[in-house]
Structure 1
Amino acid sequence: MSERPTKIILVHGSGHGAWCWYKVVAALKSQGYSVTAIDLAACGSDPRRMAVDVTTFEEYAQPLMDLMASVPEGEKIVLVAHSFAGLSLASAMDAFPEKIAVAVFVTAILPDTVHAPWHIFQQTFEHFPEIFSGIKTESVAIPGRSAPFIIATSDPEFLATRLYQNCSMEDLTLAKMMVRPTSFFQEDLSKRAAFSEERYGSVDKVFVLCGEDAALTPDYQRWMMEKSPVKEVMEINGADHMAMLSKPRELCQCIAAIVNSYIR
């Protein structure tokens, strides 16, 4: 089937990689869409290592920024982010608003245009501290940095009960083999300026709410949207945090509907 001209870019959450989108990529391509799932730095099959080769949020998100820079002038794409990738998506929206027809947040971190990006995590620690239980952290000293670099790792129990609880055993097993150490880049994101209303705020945003997410719970997802409203909300009942694996058909339906609504 020949590909439709619309380009869809899929961006994974922390610790994951392009591999987690395999069901969605296959389904969208079978419908004729042009779709790309990328590896962020030190993720998936990217050879770099966290805290060794990648120590800043800018380095981490650079593969997405490079891909956006390669989009021809006058062309608009649909950008889809999952989980922590909401911040990478927001960075791309701030840098390339004219190239993005719509930004899709799949149970993804949704920053506002008032505070530094780390502010949403500070608020999360206060209102939803249970979100971070099951994530192990390690401090690493890096020359030239005033604060230790924090590496985060999801233990197998966290994967099984908080992220993949509605997924197949095969997909959970794949995750246990593929998920890599990551970072939330607290030092960088706390010093970074807020995303701009003029650029980030000018791009249409759709939020895909996952009804059985045990990590970023539905209450948490709605709390983010109260603080940073979106143009449209879609909900996938029965989707855990990894909707692309537990409910791939439904997520593909959402993405196709968004394409049809926002691409002119």
Structure 2
Amino acid sequence: MKKQQGLPRSSSSRPRSLTDPLVSPLQFVNQETKIEDLETNHFVLVHGGGFGAWCWYKTISLLEDAGFKVSALDLAGSGIHLFDANDITSLPQYAKPLTDFLEKLDNTKKVILVGHDFGGSCISYAMELFPAKIAKAVFLAAAMVKNGQNTLHMFSLKQDGASDLMHQAQTFLYGNGKDQPPTAIDLEKSLLRDLLFNQSPVKDIALASVSVRPIPFAPAMEKLVLTDNYESIRRFYIETRNDNAISLSVQQIMCESNPPEKIFLLKGSDHCPFFSKPQALHKLLFEIARIPPIKNAANQP
């Protein structure tokens, strides 16, 4: 595909490592930077399809050790949330744990939303509803749709071999009978490593293999309505170079079609950098948190 022009980019310069062993996150902190001086020190982590809050355990530890406040949520039918994925019939229902959290958030507080995979559509939906409570939105190898698009439309743009692997791994579930539309998508456990975790440590693959749940189908088909509320929030995209689930080319297409403020590239990362490149991901999240707010005469004293 044609190389993208005009969008500001950055990349992780860390050497490729399959394990990316954890070290003190304080090494990433500029000594002149104080967490309390940032626009917000609160990250809200939103998992992708089939995952849960459990997948962020390394990121939570690194951010909290650096002084950030972190909230990781289970969307409906995910993680330890009690709903059955086959019974979730809309995006608002699927994203309700996130919207409930933001609704209860103090009106004087703002957060940085981070959405992975299908979580990108969920944070977009939340951005439309609560623009005053969101300082920045980070799309991590995520669906970043435009008004009138749905998640499956964007994920169907695959132009390389990744689409074949995804199709092999997917099994449609029909909770309402075979004569009705699918209600959920399950992923073949034997293909998870190649599809999602091709650069991740064995222990994290083992955790995922017993924790991943079916993905509700209807929310992925639902078209988002996005207005100036969504557009008013600063967006950042983190691309994953060695991603077999959402190929780098598809991520670039989404960024070209719906340009964020800045794009970062995680080298040596599979679809799940919170497993495969936790230090590099932490460094980028910290860098995004440090970006100062844009001064606007209309809303600045």
**TM score, norm. by length of structure 2:** 0.78
**Deviation >6 Å, runs of 4+:** none
Could you tell me how far 1:186 is from its partner in structure 2?
5.7
* Aligned match of 1:70: 104
Query: Alpha carbons of 1:127 and 1:242: their partners in 2 closer, same or farther (altered >3 Å)?
Result: closer
Per-residue deviation, residues 1-47 of structure 1 (Å, max 9, x unmatched)? 99856211000000100000000000110011001111001100111
User: Which of the numbers 190, 198, 204 marks the counterpart of 1:157?
Assistant: 190
* Aligned match of 2:134: 100
Structure 1 letter corresponding to 2:249:
D
User: Which of the numbers 54, 67, 79 marks the counterpart of 1:44?
Assistant: 79
Query: Alpha carbons of 1:242 and 1:126: their partners in 2 closer, same or farther (altered >3 Å)?
Result: closer
Q: Distance in 2 between matches of 1:177 and 1:187?
A: 23
Structure 2 letter corresponding to 1:247:
K
Tell me if the contact between 2:154 and 2:254 (Cα under 8 Å) persists in the aligned partners: no
Identity of aligned residues (%): 27
**123-132 or 152-161: bigger deviation:** 123-132
| Structure 2 residue 241 is the aligned partner of structure 1 residue 214 | no
Tell me if the contact between 1:102 and 1:262 (Cα under 8 Å) persists in the aligned partners: no
| Structure 2 residue 44 is the aligned partner of structure 1 residue 12 | no
Which has the bigger relative contact order, CA under 8 A and spacing at least 6?
2
Query: Alpha carbons of 1:232 and 1:64: their partners in 2 closer, same or farther (altered >3 Å)?
Result: same
Per-residue deviation, residues 197-222 of structure 1 (Å, max 9, x unmatched)? x1111111000011111110111100
Q: Distance in 1 between matches of 2:185 and 2:232?
A: 33
Query: Alpha carbons of 1:179 and 1:123: their partners in 2 closer, same or farther (altered >3 Å)?
Result: closer
Residue aligned with 1:185, SS: helix
Residue aligned with 1:224, SS: helix
* Aligned match of 1:33: 68
Q: How many residues align?
A: 254
| Structure 2 residue 234 is the aligned partner of structure 1 residue 199 | no
Per-residue deviation, residues 134-185 of structure 1 (Å, max 9, x unmatched)? 111122228xxx9524310111233110101111111001111000011232
**TM score, norm. by length of structure 1:** 0.89
Tell me if the contact between 1:3 and 1:29 (Cα under 8 Å) persists in the aligned partners: no
* Aligned match of 1:237: 267
* Aligned match of 2:213: 180
| Structure 2 residue 57 is the aligned partner of structure 1 residue 22 | yes
Bigger Rg over Cα: 2
Per-residue deviation, residues 214-246 of structure 1 (Å, max 9, x unmatched)? 110111100111111110001110010010010
Q: CA RMSD in A?
A: 2.3
Q: Distance in 1 between matches of 2:44 and 2:95?
A: 14
Structure 2 letter corresponding to 1:219:
S
Query: Alpha carbons of 1:124 and 1:84: their partners in 2 closer, same or farther (altered >3 Å)?
Result: closer
Q: Distance in 2 between matches of 1:220 and 1:46?
A: 30
Q: Distance in 2 between matches of 1:134 and 1:239?
A: 20
Per-residue deviation, residues 42-86 of structure 1 (Å, max 9, x unmatched)? 10011121123x332211100000011112112211000000111
Tell me if the contact between 2:174 and 2:180 (Cα under 8 Å) persists in the aligned partners: no
Q: Distance in 1 between matches of 2:230 and 2:145?
A: 10
